C-alpha cells in the first residue's frame, strides 16, 4: 500500500496554491486545501474536487486549526497591492497570526513547514540583483508595509521557531509570478496588460515604464517550492525563487500587445507610492542547493496566460467584472 504524505496547503484555492495542490496530487500526496476565499476561488480548484485524496477546508489562518498532517505549505495571504491594501490590518494579521498558528501546528506535529515569503521584503532595493543576504530597504509605515513588514515578521517567526524549537523550516522569497488562474482584478501588470489588450483598451503604465521586473511562470515557481520542501533539512532558506531575466514594464506592454494582436496604444499615469524601481532575483542559491532555474520564456508563458484570460472573458457577464 502506498503511504501518502498528508500535505496542508494554506491559500490552496489561490493562484499559486491551486497549481501547487495540482502538482502535489500528481505526486501521489494527500492534499488538504485550506482557504477563506478572500482572493482564492472555488473555480481554481473545481477540477480537483473529485479526487479522493483532495480535501477542501474553508478556514481563515488567523484562527488556530487542529489537523494531522506531515507537511505544511503556508501560502495564505493576499499578494497584490489592490487586495492587501483593501484591509491592511487584516493583511498583517494574516501574515503574522497566520504564521504563528501554522508554526504552532507544525511544532505540535513535528511537521516540516514552508513559508511563501516575497521579494517585497527587499523593498525598493539598493542592491541589484537582490541576494538573500540583503536586508532590504522597506518603508515601515507606507501603504505597502502591511504586506512587506507582515512577511518580514513571518520570516522572523519562522527562524525563531527553528532556533528555539528545532522546527524544520523552509522560507521561499517569491518574485513576480504569472500564469493561468491569476486573479483578473489583482492589479498586477501581467493580468492588467493582458485584459486591457484583449478588451481593445489602451495599456496603462505607471511612470515612464522604465522600472524593471522579472516574470516567472507559475509551473516553474511551483517546481521551485516543491524542490525546496524536499531539500535537505539544513537548507532552511531564505531562497529566492524567480526568473532572473529582467524586462522593463514598457517592454512587457509591447510584448503583450504583439501577442494579443489587439490594443496598441500605451498611456502613462503617475508612479504609485513606494513602487520599487528594480526587481530581479539572484538565484545562485536556488541553482546550487535545489538544482532549480526557470525553464519557461516570457513569450511562451504569456501565450498560455493570454489564452486563459481570453476564455475567461468569453464567459457571460465576465467583462462587467473586469476593473481595468
User: What is the per-residue pLDDT for 321?
Assistant: 56
Predicted confidence band at 323 (pLDDT cuts at 50, 70, 90)? low
- pLDDT tens digits along 4-47: 999 999 999 999 999 999 999 999 999 999 999 998 999 999 99
| pLDDT tops 60 at residue 142 | yes
Average pLDDT over residues 257-275: 81
pLDDT tens figures, 186-236 = 778 899 999 999 999 999 998 888 888 899 999 999 999 999 999 999 999
Q: Which cell numbers in the block locate residue 211?
A: 522600472
Predicted structure pTM score: 0.93
d(CA 92, CA 148): 9
Cis peptide, bond prior to residue 226, ω within 30 of zero:
no
**Residue 317, C-alpha cell as written in the block:** 457577464
Looking at residues 282-310, what average pLDDT do you find? 97
Q: What is the pLDDT, as a whole number, of residue 318?
A: 63
Q: Are 266 and 203 in contact (CB under 8 A)?
A: yes
Please, what is the average pLDDT of the chain? 92
In this predicted model, which residue has the larger pLDDT, 279 or 94?
94
Pairing outcome for strands 30-35 and 6-10: parallel
Q: Where are the alpha helices (DSSP H) in the chain?
A: 15-26, 81-84, 88-109, 145-165, 189-198, 218-230, 249-260, 284-285, 298-313, 318-321
Query: Residue 247: enclosing H or E segment and its boundaries?
Result: strand 246-248
Percent of the chain with pLDDT over 90: 75
pLDDT category, 124, cuts 50, 70, 90? confident
Rounded CA-CA distance 109/213 in Å is 39
Top-confidence residue, 84 or 167: 167
What average pLDDT does range 102-129 have in this prediction? Answer: 95
Give the pLDDT mean for 97-110: 98
Handedness of CA 174, 194, 246, 211 (dihedral sign): negative
Which whole number is the average pLDDT over 264-287?
A: 84
Grid cell listed for 76: 495564505
Give me the active site residues, please. 147
Q: What is the predicted pLDDT for the residue at 322?
A: 58
pLDDT band at 81 (very low <50, low <70, confident <90, very high): confident
pLDDT digits (tens, 9 = 90+) for 146-159: 889 999 999 999 99
Q: Is 110 exposed, middle or buried (0-12, 13-18, 19+ CB in 10 A)?
A: exposed
Nearest by Cα to 229 from 322, 149, 113: 113
Average pLDDT over residues 266-274: 79
Please report the pLDDT score of residue 56 as a whole number: 98
> Which domains does the chain carry?
6-177+217-241 (3.40.50.720)
Predicted confidence band of residue 3 (pLDDT cuts 50, 70, 90) = confident
Q: Maximum CA pair distance of the chain?
A: 60
Nearest-angstrom CA–CA distance, 192 and 197: 9
Amino acid at each position: 500500500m502506498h503511504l501518502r504524505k498528508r500535505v496542508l496547503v494554506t491559500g490552496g484555492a489561490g493562484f499559486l496554491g491551486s497549481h501547487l495542490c495540482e502538482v502535489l496530487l500528481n505526486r501521489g500526496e494527500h492534499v488538504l486545501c485550506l482557504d477563506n476565499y478572500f482572493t482564492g476561488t472555488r473555480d481554481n480548484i473545481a477540477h480537483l474536487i473529485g479526487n479522493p485524496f483532495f480535501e477542501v477546508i474553508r478556514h481563515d489562518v488567523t484562527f488556530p486549526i487542529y489537523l494531522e498532517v506531515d507537511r505544511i505549505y503556508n501560502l495564505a495571504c493576499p499578494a497584490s497591492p489592490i487586495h492587501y491594501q483593501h484591509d491592511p490590518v487584516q493583511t498583517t494579521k494574516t501574515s503574522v497570526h497566520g504564521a504563528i498558528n501554522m508554526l504552532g501546528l507544525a511544532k505540535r506535529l513535528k511537521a516540516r513547514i514552508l513559508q511563501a515569503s516575497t521579494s517585497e521584503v527587499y523593498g525598493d532595493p539598493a542592491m541589484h540583483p537582490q541576494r538573500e543576504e540583503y536586508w532590504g530597504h522597506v518603508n515601515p509605515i507606507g501603504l505597502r508595509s502591511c504586506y512587506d513588514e507582515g512577511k518580514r515578521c513571518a520570516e522572523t517567526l519562522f527562524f525563531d521557531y527553528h532556533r528555539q524549537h528545532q522546527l524544520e523550516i523552509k522560507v521561499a522569497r517569491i518574485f513576480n509570478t504569472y500564469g493561468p488562474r491569476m486573479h483578473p482584478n489583482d492589479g498586477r501588470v501581467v493580468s492588467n496588460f493582458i485584459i486591457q489588450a484583449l478588451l481593445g483598451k489602451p495599456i496603462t503604465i505607471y511612470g515612464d515604464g522604465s522600472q524593471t521586473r522579472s516574470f516567472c511562470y507559475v509551473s516553474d515557481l511551483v517546481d521551485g517550492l516543491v524542490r525546496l520542501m524536499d531539500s535537505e533539512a539544513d537548507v532552511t532558506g531564505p531562497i529566492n525563487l524567480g526568473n532572473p531575466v529582467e524586462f522593463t514594464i514598457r517592454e512587457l506592454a509591447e510584448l503583450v500587445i504583439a501577442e494579443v494582436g489587439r490594443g496598441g496604444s500605451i498611456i502613462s499615469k503617475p508612479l504609485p507610492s513606494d513602487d520599487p524601481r528594480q526587481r530581479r532575483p539572484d538565484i545562485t542559491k536556488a541553482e546550487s542547493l535545489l538544482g532549480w532555474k526557470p525553464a519557461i520564456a516570457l513569450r511562451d508563458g504569456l501565450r498560455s496566460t493570454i489564452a486563459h484570460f481570453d476564455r475567461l472573458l468569453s464567459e457571460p457577464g465576465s467583462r462587467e467584472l473586469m476593473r481595468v
